[in-house]
Amino acid sequence: MAGPGYFFSVCARVLRHILVNHAKAHRWQKRGGGAQRVEFEEGLWLSQKSLSRVLDLDEALVNLATYDPRKSEIVELLCFGGLTYEETAAALKISPATVHRELKLAKAWLRRQLTQSA
C-alpha cells in the first residue's frame, strides 16, 4: 500500500501539471486560439510574466529530472506540493539534511538553466 510520501508526490505533480497547462492554455489563447473564454473562480491569479515563469520552470525541471530525478522531485514537492523539508524528507525516505543539500544544488542548477533561457 502506498504511503503518505507517494500521496504528496502525486499531489505535487498534479498541481505542477495544472499550473503548466493553465500557462500553456493562456499562451495559446493569446496567440488567437479562437476558443470561447470561460471564466471561473480558482483562486489562482497569475500574471503573464508568472505564466511564462511557470513554463520556464517546468522545462527546467524536466531537464533536471533527466540529470537527477531526486533533485527534481524535491523541488516539485517543496514548490508545488507545499511540503516542509521534514515532510519532503519523510516522503522520499531521506534525511532533512539531504533534502537541504540536494535543494541547494538543485536551486543552483535551475538558476543557471533559467538565466540561460532568459
Q: What is the pTM of this model?
A: 0.65
Say if residues 112 and 63 touch (Cβ distance below 8 Å). no
* Mean pLDDT computed over every residue of the chain: 80
Q: For residue 15, what pLDDT band results from cuts at 50, 70 and 90?
A: confident
Q: For residue 81, what pLDDT band results from cuts at 50, 70 and 90?
A: confident
Q: Does the pLDDT at position 95 exceed 60?
A: yes
Residue 117's pLDDT is 67
User: In terms of DSSP H, where are the helices of the chain?
Assistant: 4-30, 48-67, 69-75, 85-92, 96-117
